[in-house]
Amino acid sequence: MSTRDTGSQKAASEPSSPTAPPAKDAPQILPDIIRPYGDTTGDGMVQVSFTLPVPHDKRAEGAALQLAAKMGVAPALLVHAKAMGSGFTFFIVYGSVSHLVDLRDVVVIEREFALLSAKEANAAIKKRLHRKLVVVGACIGNDAHTVGIDAILNIKGFAGEKGLEYYSEIKVVNCGAQVLVPELVARARAEKADAVLVSQVVTQKDRHIHNTTQMSAAFREAYPAGKVPLLIVGGPRFEQGSEERLGVDRIFGKGTTPGEVASYLVHAISQAGSTTKEHP
């Protein structure tokens, strides 16, 4: 998503105070330039939270306000400060910013495939592959956060949708937590995986980036060119649109549902070209 900081630029159409609410279902007409608001429309108020590596005292609070001022939050009000262990303090600061947002510069990445029901996905897989589609999933590295990948794979699913295990035309192999990359590659080969689904939730020191690039490189090394299974990675903090950099086919983020993943799998195998995709 790209936005332009228009600094002191005057808002082309300043948000006006709310009048009568728009009729139900009437398309909402938005101005091009907007600013955040807290108490009164257009007041520029934002709330930010952060932690500083200092014990909680008056100097720490002054440091928080100094940071807020340098971030352009002025005037800033310290609304919350709490010691986090002995040497750290967590802050919430509320204040006004002068920055404007130009909605015309916002780039939205649209989903590139249609959402299918489980029935439609199964039928499409059957038609395309004439066999079950095999997915191998895991949390790699030292990541033990399995709830996300289980939400996608386990039959019980997520957000009211059944997981991929529910799909009659998908074979799911869930390898669980803290799987080493060589083990994952070996399992994918043994299962003749069409797709490998990897979860990365821990992002400390960019672990998710390092683990994912290491994983995708290992698959490219282990498979002949053009035979690498679909590499799909998911987790709450991946940057949208960074597939190429990470060497994967698709990234899924926060709130992903199993149906979206199944629909993507169908889309990807349909894009693959031949009528009967060769089993890798």
Residues with active-site annotation: 156
Helix or strand run (H / E) with residue 93: strand 89-96
* Residue 187 amino acid letter: R
Nearer to ligand B12, 163 or 280 (CB): 163
Q: How far is the CB of 133 from ligand B12 (least distance, A)?
A: 14
157 near ligand B12, rule: CB under 6 A: no
Q: How far apart are alpha carbons 192 and 12 in whole angstroms?
A: 57
The neighbour count for residue 175, using CB atoms within 10 Å, is 20
Nearer to ligand B12, 96 or 257 (CB): 257
Question: Which stretch in 2-10, 69-77, 81-89, 200-208 sits in contact with ligand B12 by CB under 6 A?
Answer: 200-208
Nearer to ligand B12, 56 or 208 (CB): 208
145 near ligand B12, rule: CB under 6 A: yes
Q: How far apart are alpha carbons 279 and 190 in whole angstroms?
A: 12
Binding ligand B12 by CB under 6 A: which of 64, 201, 230, 248? 201
DSSP at 204: G
235 near ligand B12, rule: CB under 6 A: yes
Which of 66, 63, 72, 64 has the alpha carbon at shortest distance from 45? 72
Left (φ > 0), alpha (ψ -120 to 50) or beta: where does 234 sit? beta
Residues 6+ apart with CB under 8 A from 250: 230, 232, 233, 243, 264, 268
**In degrees, to the nearest 5, what angle opens at C-alpha 33 toward C-alphas 30 and 36?**
90
158 near ligand B12, rule: CB under 6 A: yes
Asked whether 169 and 133 are in contact (CB, 8 A), the reply is yes
Q: Provide the token pair at 267.
A: 């889309």
Q: How far is the CB of 238 from ligand B12 (least distance, A)?
A: 8
Nearer to ligand B12, 235 or 247 (CB): 235
Q: How far apart are alpha carbons 88 and 120 in whole angstroms?
A: 52
236 near ligand B12, rule: CB under 6 A: yes
Binding ligand B12 by CB under 6 A: which of 76, 93, 129, 148? 148
255 near ligand B12, rule: CB under 6 A: yes
* Dihedral sign computed on CA atoms, order 181, 184, 188, 194: negative
Binding ligand B12 by CB under 6 A: which of 146, 154, 212, 216? 146
Q: How far is the CB of 18 from ligand B12 (least distance, A)?
A: 33
Q: How many residues bind ligand B12 (CB under 6 A)?
A: 28
Asked whether 49 and 115 are in contact (CB, 8 A), the reply is no
Nearer to ligand B12, 46 or 198 (CB): 198
Nearer to ligand B12, 152 or 268 (CB): 152
| CA distances for 139 relative to 43, 143, 201, 235, 264, angstroms | 44, 6, 8, 10, 20
136 near ligand B12, rule: CB under 6 A: no
Binding ligand B12 by CB under 6 A: which of 44, 95, 157, 234? 234
Interaction site with ligand B12 (CB under 6 A)? 142-149, 151-152, 158, 197-199, 201-204, 232, 234-236, 252-256, 261
